[in-house]
Amino acid sequence: MQNKQSGKVAFITGANKGIGFETARGLGKLGFTVVIGSRDAGRGRAAADKLRSEGIESVEAVRFDVTRPGDHKEVARHLQDRYGKLDVLVNNAGVQLEDGDFTSGFNTTSTGNPDILRQTFDTNFFAVVALTQTLLPLIRKAPAGRIVNLSSILGSLTLHSDPSSGIYAKKVFAYDASKTALNAFTIHLAQELRGTTIKVNSAHPGWVRTEMGGSNAPLDLSEGGKTSVQLATLPDDGPTGGYFHLGKPLPW
C-alpha cells in the first residue's frame, strides 16, 4: 500500500506509553516520521524500539519534559535542524493528580488542594500553551500543519452543567478545569490561524484503560489514539477550532 503521509513529521508529547504511544503507533503506520517526547529517555527509546519492531522505521525518541521551558527550546532546535518543519503537534502529555471513583459520584471542588490545582494547570494548560507558541514557527513551515490538544469530555462545561449527562456527578475539579482552559486555547488559536493551512482541534480520546483512566474504563488502550490520529490527518477541508471524539463533535 502506498504511503500517503511520507515526509510528514509529528511530535507527540508523553508518547512513551498509553494514549500517546497509541497515537505514535497510528501515525507511524500511516508513514509519518514520529518523534516521541518522553520525560524518561530510556522509556522513550524503548517505545521507539517497540515501534520499529512493528515495522515503523521512521521513529525517534527525545527526552522531553513539557513543564521545563528549556526542553521546549531544545526540541524546537532539534526539529528545525533535523527536519526543518513540523507537520503535526500532538499535545498529549497531561496529569490527573486528584482521586475520584469514576464508577460513582464525587466532587473535589471545595476540598481540592491549591498546590494540586497549580501543578495540574502547569502541565495541562500553561505548558501546552508555551510549547505550542514555541513550535508554531515550525508548524507554519509545513504545507498543512495540524495541532491536536488532548482534552477530555470532562472539560465540557455544557455537560457538567446538565443533570442528565453522564459526567454531571463526576467532578474532579483541577483536571476538569485545566481541560476546559485547554479547550479555550484551542478555540482562540484556531481563530487566530483562520485563513492559514493550520488546523487546531481538541480531542476527547474516550475513557480508556490507562494508568490515568483505570481498570474500569470501557475502552481498550488500542482505541485511545484514534481520535488524535484522525485530527492529525484532517484533509484540507476538515474542521478547525472544534472538540471531537471519533469524528463526532462534543459540546463545549
Mean pLDDT (whole number) for 177-197 = 98
Q: Which domain holds residue 77?
A: 9-249
**Domain-located, residue 92:** yes
Give me the pLDDT at residue 99, please.
78
Mean pLDDT (whole number) for 172-187 = 97
**Domain-located, residue 2:** no
Q: Domain with 237 in it: what CATH number?
A: 3.40.50.720
Mean pLDDT (whole number) for 48-58 = 96
**Domain-located, residue 4:** no
How many other CB atoms sit within 10 Å of the CB of residue 41?
13
Give me the pLDDT at residue 221, please.
59
**Domain-located, residue 128:** yes
Is the pLDDT confidence value at 218 over 50? no
**Domain-located, residue 166:** yes
- Residue 21, CA distances (Å) to 37, 116, 149 in order: 10, 26, 15
192: Cβ contacts below 8 Å, ≥ 6 apart: none
Residues with catalytic function = 175
Model confidence band, residue 1 (pLDDT cutoffs 50, 70, 90): very low
For 3-26, what is each residue's pLDDT tens digit? 467 699 999 999 999 999 999 999
User: What pTM, to 2 d.p., does this model score?
Assistant: 0.93
**Domain-located, residue 129:** yes
Is the pLDDT confidence value at 201 over 80? yes
Give me the pLDDT at residue 94, please.
96
Mean pLDDT (whole number) for 82-107 = 89
Contact 52, 58 (CB under 8 A): no
Give percent of the chain with pLDDT exceeding 70. 90
Number of domains in the chain: 1
**Domain-located, residue 133:** yes
Mean pLDDT (whole number) for 188-198 = 98
79: Cβ contacts below 8 Å, ≥ 6 apart: 9, 11, 35, 85, 86, 135, 138
Average pLDDT of the chain, as a whole number: 92
**Domain-located, residue 1:** no
